Amino acid sequence: MTFVDALAFQLFSLAFVATLLFYAGVSDYRTYLKRGFREAYLLLRSQAVLFGVMGIVVLIIGLWGEMTWPISVLSNGSNVMGAYNILFYDPYLMLGMVLVSFAVCVMMRLNTRYAGLLALMTGALSIYYGINAYMLGLTEEPLFTLILYIGLGGTAIFTFPVTIFVDKIIIEPMHGNKTDKNVKRFITWPWKLAHLGFLLFLLFSAASALLALAIGGGALAPHLSNPP
């Protein structure tokens, strides 16, 4: 079976997704505060197209990785590539599912919290995979791999409260003849918690983007010159 090395692209795609999440979160929130939920929804819908495209690409590569398991057997007869396949493609495939489901919910004006719940479970699973990869020393940089999986997992976990936030202030008001309410409701404690979750989401997404870019950039040259 021919081995196709997609690791660098996977890392860069993760960085692109994390960057898009960060930018979308900031721009949507600012648009909501300045122009109201209708303009925020129009912006979110345009962003959902990009989430959907990225999700389809991630989903295809994830399915390919799962269906070709084990990818390869090394020349010494060991089947270590099967372990890398599990580590890299299981969470990656679920990420594609989250992105596509979120994009569809936004385009159809459905509650996004269920896509957020799937993201939460995916994030917890990613952190679990990263911890096991670190303890088994599966990569050349186990500590950086662990930090990356924690960063991406944290981003996915805090996507859940963000989607509840999005449903309450953008999606649900779009279903009726509602007008924008005064932003004073944000001073109540549930909205303060929502803001805290939103800030943590932004923090994890920014950190994940930088980590994925750094690791992907470091892996590109070695994989181009000497593919595994």
The radius of gyration computed from the CA coordinates of the chain, to the nearest angstrom, equals 19
Q: Roughly how many angstroms between the first and final C-alpha of the chain, as a whole number? A: 14
Burial class (CB in 10 A: 0-12, 13-18, 19+), 176: exposed
- Asked whether residue 190 carries a pLDDT value surpassing 80, the answer given is no
Q: Give pLDDT tens digits for 42-63.
A: 999 999 999 999 999 999 999 9
Q: Which residues, at least 6 apart from 89, have a Cβ–Cβ distance to it below 8 Å?
A: 62, 65, 66, 69
Q: Which of 21-30, 86-95, 174-183 has the lowest mean pLDDT?
A: 174-183
Task: Tell me if 42 sits within 8 A of 179, measured CB to CB.
Answer: no
Mean pLDDT computed over every residue of the chain: 84
pLDDT tens for 61-110 read: 999 888 876 555 444 444 455 567 788 889 999 999 999 999 999 999 99
